[in-house]
Structure 1
């Protein structure tokens, strides 16, 4: 990156101005003579860009989403046709199909490798400096918003130019790669600040952050030296106080415990029994049913992320369409019942509450037409807008078009291992957990936390289960704390039919609900078996 206050010296270049323009517009070309056909293509690309510049931001987002969807369906259709053509002559059709899909992935990766993101990096640095006075930000949400704006103007890769880097499964351009748990010898605070772009307002704050960092680093090293099945590391949360970390836990505990069953609108088609067989492993990411890991920012909006992500997955499994859906719409338009004294929004909620509200409102719009803002504003307070939603068939019937239907939800039997396992074979779930020991998780099968008295306080998406090569069974959890947390944003949580149960001693912490229980039995590692929910779409 260019140091603050200095300009990059111009470097010799053999790239023509026409080629440079096409790269900025996201049109990737091999270096070749400017034949008439290429000149015509360049003229067409320039014409399309001029048209795009006349569009409103919402129209541009809609057009890019439609173009990306069309390109993907064309690729998928071509792949399936090739698979059908060659599978007849193959002894193993599955291997042929897998090979063709690998070729498709390699082709996409090759195109991305050809893209020169350097110009985007430079422009992003200038924009961030202009807005914040610093080239690096602790709040990646603000920087990602600037990156998205630049991609919308034609900088960077053609595919994904309407998504920030972290939503495409990559590190943000605003940050650097982090040091891993086995590389922490000699690690220190200044190096941490450089890696994560930490900027503090005063010397006093910097000293306090350094003290918090040093305390946490000592705990991390001690844990890793003890030979546990999971490793702890440093990440963007390492210098935060316990009070700041608690803000990330947005489960409304009182509402969950007091109305666990009342909001369920459907039951599974048949009861689950231990005699039923399930696959040895399930990973819905491999089926293309999971969008990239996201970032909830400094807001207790985990409940909206887990809820929206599970709609995304279930809608894909029903229709074949995978898209980012709006967490902000749930935040803005889902107030908590007054009987529970909750506030909704960044103040917390539950998956069941979200699904019942989406059912009443007629569905859920996409991220493109109702973007997430709560992680970038103080408290995340915005107003619900765009109602009534436009229909799937007639999207312009309302101010904001819905992208998926929600007709209700299913709440699984509390603390039932079999219910969770069988529901997972049909699709991902939203689950409530005790995330008190999760903040510095880096890799491995997690088995920590408070087993005797777990305190459910966080919502995540459960996307599968499996067994490690060493024989450790686990649930696969997707969090909303950026891809720089855990295993690329994911976590393996210990799985066992005979997992011990604990007792949540204070289920009414917070504002409380009328008629809530005094104590609650919670089973599974981190309480993961207590509250499994999925939407009906």
Structure 2
């Protein structure tokens, strides 16, 4: 609590000054030299002097690292929101969108007030998803995890490793492509698998390719209704890895993302795999070791409470009752306090497209009472026990034996 109290003073202790920033963009006692504090213009008539550890968000104010999206939204209107995110609506839906916006705005303001008081470790933002109904938001979380014994996979080998680094981030290794946006198609599973194939091929070959999730959306067969009927109706990363083994995945340039189901085309595989590895369930040590020694992982999470995430270390699943595994993402790193997760809702969501999941729940388990709605394949279990914040420890996997595809076209 002492840490959060001092943090609170830092956040709210910045005083606004009348006027405009000087040409030097410096302020404070040393405004005339390089030692001056960064000057941040927050309106046409006022500015703030940021500390050396803060960044200036124009028209918003000084923010600590990781708080670029933190705003109080005082006076923020529906018209402001539409302009900021270039939104337009048909006449018949305008009022319903306004109602959703207003309800979410109240939620964000109340939550962020608690964050500023040190009662929360994460804050919310009015982002591009803030006008979606719960049903529409649910479309972006269409994935399940198949645990069928007749599909080949490997268990993580029991190896002796040196101690893991205290923190690790694969983004710094040049093996992670930019954050993408799946749009209104329930293809999170395809993006998660694609991203992990990209990363592991880059680790193996030194070449970072941008691969095509549309390969999986169009061509993955889903006979057991794992996550729906396939394509934009949902499937699994396991099924995507199986297609990578049997036929491979195309380049994005050859098969661009459409955000809708199409018939499976003939394509040239850019990358193929020999198999994939599944980590032991609900074991934080296994996920940490795999991230430190193998590469990014495809993981399944409960993301029903992620819609308005703006930044910070997220603990919203364990604080509430969001335990239905329904979303595929990519784990790219960790630190002592969090798992670093890459999402597929665009770079404007969360922390530039990423979310940090709290590790305070690493040793806790929760019950998913709705496997049929989000996680399992037929025949659906009634319940399942999941571990970690948002169930991040329950199902993790990655492809192995990645090689360049052949010039031979896959004809379907």
Tell me the TM-score range normalised by the shorter chain: 0.7 to 0.9
Cα 1:192–1:302 change in 2 (3 A) is same
- Paired residue for 1:212? 100
Superposed, 1:59-458 pairs within 5 Å as 180-202=69-91, 204-227=92-115, 228-252=120-144, 256=145, 258-259=147-148, 262-270=150-158, 277-338=163-224, 342-361=228-247, 363-374=248-259, 380-386=260-266, 400-425=267-292, 426-450=294-318, 454-458=323-327
Measure, in 2, the Cα distance between the counterparts of 1:293 and 1:512. 27
1:413 CA displacement: 0.7
Determine which of 379, 382, 386 is the counterpart of 1:522: 386
- Paired residue for 1:492? 356
**DSSP-derived class of the 2:157 partner:** coil
**DSSP-derived class of the 2:171 partner:** coil
Measure, in 1, the Cα distance between the counterparts of 2:327 and 2:374. 14
Measure, in 2, the Cα distance between the counterparts of 1:519 and 1:512. 10
Cα 1:516–1:180 change in 2 (3 A) is closer
Superposed, 1:2-81 pairs within 5 Å as none
**DSSP-derived class of the 2:71 partner:** helix
**DSSP-derived class of the 1:200 partner:** coil
1:406 CA displacement: 1.4
Q: Quick check: 1:452–1:503 contact (8 Å CA) kept in 2?
A: no
Measure, in 2, the Cα distance between the counterparts of 1:323 and 1:313. 9
- Paired residue for 1:477? 341
Q: Quick check: 2:325–2:375 contact (8 Å CA) kept in 1?
A: no
Measure, in 2, the Cα distance between the counterparts of 1:229 and 1:339. 37
Q: Quick check: 1:429–1:532 contact (8 Å CA) kept in 2?
A: yes
Deviation by residue 1:75-132 (Cα, 9 ceiling, x = unmatched): xxxxxxxxxxxxxxxxxxxxxxxxxxxxxxxxxxxxxxxxxxxxxxxxxxxxxxxxxx
Measure, in 1, the Cα distance between the counterparts of 2:382 and 2:169. 37
Measure, in 2, the Cα distance between the counterparts of 1:213 and 1:501. 34
Rg larger for: 1
1:437 CA displacement: 0.8
Q: Quick check: 2:342–2:353 contact (8 Å CA) kept in 1?
A: yes
State TM-score, norm by structure 1.
0.58
**DSSP-derived class of the 1:420 partner:** helix
- RMSD over equivalenced CA pairs, Å: 2.1
1:512 CA displacement: 7.2
1:478 CA displacement: 0.5
1:526 CA displacement: 0.5
- Structure with more strand by fraction: 2
1:495 CA displacement: 1.5
Q: Quick check: 2:362–2:387 contact (8 Å CA) kept in 1?
A: no
| Structure with more contact order per residue of length (Cα contacts < 8 Å, sep ≥ 6) | 2
Determine which of 374, 377, 399 is the counterpart of 1:535: 399
Measure, in 1, the Cα distance between the counterparts of 2:72 and 2:369. 39
Give structure 1 stretches of 5+ with no counterpart. Answer: 1-178, 375-379, 387-399, 468-472
- Paired residue for 2:368? 504
Q: Quick check: 1:324–1:366 contact (8 Å CA) kept in 2?
A: yes
**DSSP-derived class of the 1:475 partner:** strand
Deviation by residue 1:157-204 (Cα, 9 ceiling, x = unmatched): xxxxxxxxxxxxxxxxxxxxxx943241111110110010011111x3
Measure, in 2, the Cα distance between the counterparts of 1:246 and 1:315. 31
Measure, in 1, the Cα distance between the counterparts of 2:269 and 2:357. 34
**DSSP-derived class of the 2:335 partner:** strand
Q: Quick check: 1:414–1:530 contact (8 Å CA) kept in 2?
A: yes
Q: Quick check: 2:304–2:322 contact (8 Å CA) kept in 1?
A: no
Between stretches 451-460 and 287-296, larger displacement belongs to 451-460
Measure, in 2, the Cα distance between the counterparts of 1:438 and 1:514. 27
Q: Quick check: 2:142–2:233 contact (8 Å CA) kept in 1?
A: yes
State TM-score, norm by structure 2.
0.76
Deviation by residue 1:204-255 (Cα, 9 ceiling, x = unmatched): 3111111110000000010011121101011111011111000000213xxx
1:514 CA displacement: 4.0
**DSSP-derived class of the 1:312 partner:** helix
